[in-house]
């Protein structure tokens, strides 16, 4: 164990822990739907409550991270996050589930801000790009959480038992790694702040880049299967391959892209990434062949993999805004787009078509390439 107690492994453990718990929830949503007899509207409202909890937590977590240190706050929030999962699993009514999801969303979102701030400190200390590898650990954790949910559902375990066991196992595996010796930078934060943090100054364009990436990732997650089935006529089982190949590509790219960023720089990587994502969505729009569309989803995964990590890394190193607040402001646009973008895509598809919606998403991907210079490390 002492050999594993390095700052990089510790941050990786935080990202994996965060991903596993979200994967647990996502994989058992059908169980909550069946037990509480939720319809699509009710589920949509509950998911929105969870998202609002995350958005509300961003500015608060950012200010507290700057005041108390990202590493200390990440540990505290991780403990609350583990407890919130247990509460969520035992939610016995729709109102209680709503409260549980709000707390769960706040814990998830707050930890997202603080662990990214901590990751940026470790990245600076290492002197090379490693942020994407941390986000890869989150993706792997989410996959493990979903796999655990499949096992629990197959065994007929209730969500309460499943989430309680998962919380204990995750705490035992990742908890010790979070105790590595590390002193976070502290910077006085403003006492008064807005309910929602928005970028300002040079971070505005960084936020636009994060928004483009969040919109693209959210569209791929929520609309890929629908697009392949309803627009291209793929069977339901085959339609799931869209998000599958997208997710696998994201993990592979995030595990391998850091050396590329170090060698060629964030600006070049962002330009190429934005173009790849735009080409991916365009390929889906212009084809009626499912395998060609799947190639498009692969290109999307390649394009979006490095964008959010680079945006958070740039925000954390802003010379004007404290790291926690900067990450929170960028996260508001990035995750806000991931949350609110899919419903907007649905509305646009209703008045036009899903192909037109994908064209709009491709346009936002091009903005990533256009504003790529905003990701340059500050001098």
Give residue-wise pLDDT tens across range 173-212: 988 888 777 665 655 555 455 545 677 778 899 999 999 9
> Does residue 190 lie in a domain region?
no
Residues 79 and 127 in one domain: yes
Which domain covers residue 141, as residue numbers?
2-177
Residues 88 and 233 in one domain: no
Residues 138 and 265 in one domain: no
Residues 219 and 325 in one domain: yes
From 142, 161, 177, give the residue that closes a domain: 177
Which residues lie below 8 Å from residue 329, measured CB to CB, with a gap of 6+?
A: 58, 59, 62, 197, 198, 199, 200, 203, 207, 315, 321
| Furthest CA-CA distance within the chain | 59
Flag whether pLDDT at 258 surpasses 60: yes
Residues 254 and 145 in one domain: no
Residues 217 and 93 in one domain: no
> Does residue 304 lie in a domain region?
yes
Choose the weakest-confidence range: 130-134, 214-218, 253-257: 130-134
Identify the pLDDT of residue 328: 77
Identify the pLDDT of residue 283: 96
Residues 165 and 296 in one domain: no
Cα gap 146→28, rounded to integer Å: 8
> Does residue 196 lie in a domain region?
no
Q: What is the DSSP string of 136-185?
A: HHHHHHHHHHHHHHHHHHHHT--HHHHHHHHHHHHHHHHTGGGG------
CATH of the domain at 167: 1.20.1250.20
Closest by Cα among 332, 356, 333 to 345: 356
Helical pair 241-264 and 203-226, crossing angle rounded to 10 deg = 150
**Model confidence over 287-323: pLDDT tens digits?**
999 999 999 999 999 999 999 889 988 887 888 887 7
CA distances from 76 to 69, 84, 171 (A): 11, 13, 13
**Model confidence over 46-57: pLDDT tens digits?**
877 887 888 888
- Helix H or strand E encompassing 328: helix 323-351
Closest by Cα among 345, 60, 56 to 218: 345
Residue 85: pLDDT band with limits 50, 70, 90: very high
> Does residue 189 lie in a domain region?
no
| pLDDT top residue among 42 and 291 | 291
> Does residue 92 lie in a domain region?
yes
Cα gap 59→48, rounded to integer Å: 18
Residues 230 and 354 in one domain: yes
Flag whether pLDDT at 1 surpasses 60: no
Cβ-contact 253, 301 below 8 angstroms: yes
> Does residue 246 lie in a domain region?
yes
Q: What is the mean pLDDT of residues 261-286?
A: 95
> Does residue 198 lie in a domain region?
no
| pTM of the complete model | 0.75
Could you give the dihedral angle defined by the CA atoms of residues 101, 326, 300 and 288, in that order, rounded to the nearest 10 degrees?
A: 70
From 143, 177, 211, give the residue that closes a domain: 177
Q: What is the mean pLDDT of residues 16-26?
A: 85
Number of domains composing the chain: 2
Residues 35 and 160 in one domain: yes
Residues 213 and 320 in one domain: yes
> Does residue 361 lie in a domain region?
yes
Residues 144 and 230 in one domain: no
Residues 208 and 314 in one domain: yes
Residue 41: pLDDT band with limits 50, 70, 90: low
Flag whether pLDDT at 259 surpasses 60: yes
Average model confidence (pLDDT) for the chain?
Answer: 84
Flag whether pLDDT at 224 surpasses 90: no
Flag whether pLDDT at 156 surpasses 90: no
């Amino acid at each position: 164990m002492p050999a594993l107690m390095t700052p990089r492994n510790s941050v990786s453990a935080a990202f994996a822990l965060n991903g596993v718990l979200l994967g647990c929830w996502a994989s058992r949503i059908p169980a909550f739907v069946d037990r509480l007899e939720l319809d699509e509207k009710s589920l949509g409202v509950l998911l929105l409550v969870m998202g609002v909890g995350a958005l509300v937590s961003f500015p608060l977590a950012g200010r507290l991270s700057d005041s108390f240190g990202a590493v200390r706050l990440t540990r505290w929030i991780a403990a609350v996050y583990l407890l919130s999962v247990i509460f969520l699993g035992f939610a016995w009514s729709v109102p209680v589930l709503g409260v549980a999801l709000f707390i769960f969303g706040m814990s998830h979102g707050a930890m997202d801000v603080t662990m990214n701030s901590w990751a940026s400190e470790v990245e600076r200390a290492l002197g090379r790009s490693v942020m994407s590898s941390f986000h890869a650990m989150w993706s792997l954790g989410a996959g493990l959480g979903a796999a655990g949910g499949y096992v629990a559902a197959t065994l007929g375990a209730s969500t309460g038992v499943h989430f309680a066991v998962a919380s204990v196992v995750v705490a035992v595996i990742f908890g010790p790694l979070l105790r590595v010796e590390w002193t976070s930078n502290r910077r006085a934060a403003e006492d008064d702040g807005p309910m929602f943090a928005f970028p300002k100054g040079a971070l505005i364009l960084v936020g636009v880049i994060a928004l483009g990436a969040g919109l693209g990732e959210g569209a791929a997650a929520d609309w890929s299967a629908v697009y392949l089935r309803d627009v291209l006529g793929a069977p339901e089982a085959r339609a799931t391959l869209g998000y599958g190949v997208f997710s696998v590509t994201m993990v592979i790219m995030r595990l391998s892209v850091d050396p590329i960023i170090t060698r060629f720089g964030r600006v070049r990587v962002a330009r190429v990434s934005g173009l790849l994502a735009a080409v991916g969505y365009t390929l889906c729009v212009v084809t009626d062949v499912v395998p060609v569309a799947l190639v498009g989803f692969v290109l999307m995964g390649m394009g979006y993999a490095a964008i959010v990590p680079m945006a958070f890394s740039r925000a954390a190193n802003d010379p004007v805004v404290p790291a926690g607040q900067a990450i929170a402001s960028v996260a508001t646009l990035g995750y806000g787009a991931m949350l609110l973008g899919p419903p907007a895509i649905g509305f646009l598809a209703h008045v036009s078509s899903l192909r037109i919606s994908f064209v709009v998403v491709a346009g936002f991907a091009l903005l990533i390439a256009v504003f790529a210079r905003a990701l340059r490390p500050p001098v």
